[in-house]
C-alpha cells in the first residue's frame, strides 16, 4: 500500500486554521511638521499594538503583525492607522480601522488631550471597544471535507471528535441528501469496527477526497437526522458521532456572548482624570532685561538758584540718550487655562534694574546786574540701581503652531534703590550718592509675543516683552519714567 506523505497530512490538518486566521497590521502613527519625535511615535504605536493583542486573542485565530511585518500591510486583512495633530495647544488623535480587501472603514474614534500621556490613556480606554468591531464581524469561511456518494455530498465539519477508522475496501458509504450545510449535520461513515482499520487506509481515503470551502451557516437544531437503509450498518456509527458533533456547536455559541459582554463595559468605563484638560498651570520664569529711561532731563534744568542768578545746563539730552543697562528677573508663574485659545497669566518676580549714562555738559551762570556770563564745562556721570517685585497680569491669546500674544498691566513694588552722580570740572571731581527716594509703587503696561513648545507633560515658553512706565519712579517733577525690553523663558511643570 502506498504510504501517505507526511507533508500532505500536515497540510490537511493546518489548512482550515490557515483559512480561518485573520491578520491585523498596526501602522506607525503619523504626525505633521515633526510634532512628535521618532521615539514618541514608536512608543505610542507599540501601545496601540499591545491593545490589539489584548483585544484579539490568538486562540481565536487572530494575528497582530509585528512592526517589521506591518510595513508590508498589503497582505493584512485589517489595517489600523492613527493620526496625531494639534488643535490649539492640545493634541488630537484620530484612529481608523480599515478592511484590507476593499479599504472600507470598519471602526474609528477620536480624542483630545493636553499631553502625549493623555493620548496614551485614550488609546488604552478606546481600543477595547474599537477592536471589538472585528469580533462582531461575520465568521470566516470554514473548511469542509465532503464524502462523495451516489446521492450527493455530506459536508463534514472539522471537530474535536476522533476520526473514524475506515478501511478502503469495505461496504459503500450511503448517505441521504442534506438541505443545508450546518455545524450539526450528522456524519455518515462506514460501520466497520475500528480495530480492523489501519491509519494508512484512512489517510489514503482522505487524500482522494476534494477540499471545498463554504460559508458557515447558522446552527439549525431542527435539522432531521438522515435515515440510512437498514441493510447497511452505517446508522451505528452515525449515532456514535452525532453527540460529538453536537457538543462542538454549543461551544461556538458560548464564545459570542463573551465578546458582546465586553462591549458595554468598555462603553460605560468612566474617563480618567488625566484626559481632562488642565485648568491651571504653574512654573518658573527667568529673563534678561534691557533697562532705560524716557521723559526726563534728570533734573538738570530744575537746579535751585537765587533770585538774582540765572542758570542753564546744556547736554542733558545727551545724558538721557547714553543711559542704559542690563538686568535680570527670576520668579514664579501661574496660568489659568480658560480655553485652548484664551488664557490668563500672572508672574511674581524679583527684578534688578540698573543703568549708567554720561555726558559733557556746560553750565552757564549769569547775574541780572552783570553784563558778563560765566561758563563752566562739566563731565557728568550718572548711575542707578533698583530692586523691584513685579506683578504683571496678562491676557494671552494663542494662534495655531504655538504662537501667542499677551498684554496687560503690571504693578512694580520698589524694594531697594540707589543712585550716584559724579561731576568733574577744572576744579576737580565731586560725587553725590543717594539711597532710596523712589516711589513705593510703579504702574506699567506690558505687551509681548512668544512661542510655546510641549515637552511631554511639561511645556516651555519663550517670549519677548516690552514694558512702558506710566508713572514716574519718584515724586520729583522731572523724575524719569522707565521702559524695558525683556527676553523671558518659562518652564511649566505643573
pLDDT tens digits for range 128-163: 888 887 777 654 444 444 444 444 444 444 444 444
Classified by CATH at the fold level, domain 19-136 comes out as Rossmann fold (3.40.50)
Fold: same for 19-136 and 278-492: no
pLDDT at 1 over 60: no
Q: Which residue has 477508522 as its cell numbers?
A: 165
Q: What pLDDT sits at residue 364?
A: 79
Residues 456 and 275: beta-carbon distance below 8 Å: no
Between strands 105-113 and 153-157, the pairing is unpaired
Buried b (16+ CB within 10 A) or exposed e, 346-379: ebebebbbbbebbbebebeeeeeeeeeeeeeebe
Statement: 278-492 belongs to CATH 1.10.10: no
Q: What pLDDT sits at residue 304?
A: 65
pLDDT tens digits for range 32-85: 767 888 888 889 999 988 888 888 876 667 788 887 776 656 678 888 889 898
118 vs 102: CA distance, rounded Å: 33
Question: What does pTM read for this prediction?
Answer: 0.47
What CA–CA distances, in Å, run from 30 to 8, 67, 72, 82, 252? 44, 14, 16, 6, 38
Strongest mean pLDDT among 27-31, 276-280, 411-415, 478-482: 411-415
pLDDT at 418 over 90: yes
153 vs 143: CA distance, rounded Å: 14
pLDDT at 420 over 80: yes
- Higher pLDDT among residues 383 and 248, named by residue: 383
Domain boundaries, the chain: 19-136, 142-265, 278-492
Amino acid at each position: 500500500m502506498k504510504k501517505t506523505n507526511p507533508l500532505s497530512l500536515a497540510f490537511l490538518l493546518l489548512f482550515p486554521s490557515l483559512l480561518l486566521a485573520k491578520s491585523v497590521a498596526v501602522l506607525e502613527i503619523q504626525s505633521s511638521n515633526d510634532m512628535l519625535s521618532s521615539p514618541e511615535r514608536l512608543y505610542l504605536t507599540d501601545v496601540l499594538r499591545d491593545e490589539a493583542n489584548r483585544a484579539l486573542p490568538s486562540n481565536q485565530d487572530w494575528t497582530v503583525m509585528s512592526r517589521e511585518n506591518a510595513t508590508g500591510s498589503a497582505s493584512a486583512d485589517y489595517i489600523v492607522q492613527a493620526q496625531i495633530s494639534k488643535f490649539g495647544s492640545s493634541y488630537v488623535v484620530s484612529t481608523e480601522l480599515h478592511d484590507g480587501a476593499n479599504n472600507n472603514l470598519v471602526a474609528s474614534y477620536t480624542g483630545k488631550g493636553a499631553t502625549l500621556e493623555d493620548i496614551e490613556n485614550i488609546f488604552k480606554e478606546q481600543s477595547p471597544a474599537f477592536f471589538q468591531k472585528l469580533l462582531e464581524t461575520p465568521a470566516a469561511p470554514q473548511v469542509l471535507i465532503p464524502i462523495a456518494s451516489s446521492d450527493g455530498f455530506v459536508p463534514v465539519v472539522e471537530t474535536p471528535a476522533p476520526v473514524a477508522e475506515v478501511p478502503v475496501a469495505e461496504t459503500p458509504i450511503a448517505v441521504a441528501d442534506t438541505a443545508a450545510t450546518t455545524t450539526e449535520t450528522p456524519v455518515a461513515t462506514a460501520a466497520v469496527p475500528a480495530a480492523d482499520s489501519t491509519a494508512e487506509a484512512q489517510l489514503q481515503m482522505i487524500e482522494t477526497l476534494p477540499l471545498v470551502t463554504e460559508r458557515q451557516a447558522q446552527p439549525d437544531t431542527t435539522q432531521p437526522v438522515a435515515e440510512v437503509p437498514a441493510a447497511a450498518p452505517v446508522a451505528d456509527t452515525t449515532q456514535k458521532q452525532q453527540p460529538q458533533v453536537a457538543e462542538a456547536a454549543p461551544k461556538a455559541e458560548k464564545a459570542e456572548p463573551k465578546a458582546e459582554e465586553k462591549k458595554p463595559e468598555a462603553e460605560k468605563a468612566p474617563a480618567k482624570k488625566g484626559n481632562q484638560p488642565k485648568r491651571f498651570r504653574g512654573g518658573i520664569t527667568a529673563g534678561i532685561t534691557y533697562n532705560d529711561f524716557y521723559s526726563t532731563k534728570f533734573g538738570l534744568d530744575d537746579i535751585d538758584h537765587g533770585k538774582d542768578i540765572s542758570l542753564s545746563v546744556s547736554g542733558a539730552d545727551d545724558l538721557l540718550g547714553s543711559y542704559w543697562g542690563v538686568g535680570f528677573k527670576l520668579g514664579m508663574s501661574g496660568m489659568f487655562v480658560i480655553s485652548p485659545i484664551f488664557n490668563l497669566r500672572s508672574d511674581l518676580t524679583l527684578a534688578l534694574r540698573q543703568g549708567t549714562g554720561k555726558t559733557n555738559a556746560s553750565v552757564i551762570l549769569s547775574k541780572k546786574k552783570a553784563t558778563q556770563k560765566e561758563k563752566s564745562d562739566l563731565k557728568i556721570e550718572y548711575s542707578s540701581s533698583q530692586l523691584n517685585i513685579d506683578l504683571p497680569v496678562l491676557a494671552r491669546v494663542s494662534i495655531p503652531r504655538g504662537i501667542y500674544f499677551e498684554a496687560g498691566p503690571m504693578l512694580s513694588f520698589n524694594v531697594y534703590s540707589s543712585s550716584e552722580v559724579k561731576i568733574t570740572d577744572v576744579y576737580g571731581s565731586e560725587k553725590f550718592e543717594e539711597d532710596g527716594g523712589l516711589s513705593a509703587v510703579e504702574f506699567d503696561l506690558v505687551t509681548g509675543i512668544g512661542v510655546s513648545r510641549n515637552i511631554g507633560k511639561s511645556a516651555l515658553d519663550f517670549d519677548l516683552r516690552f514694558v512702558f512706565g506710566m508713572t514716574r519712579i519718584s515724586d520729583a517733577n522731572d523724575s524719569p519714567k522707565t521702559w524695558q525690553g525683556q527676553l523671558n523663558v518659562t518652564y511649566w511643570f505643573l
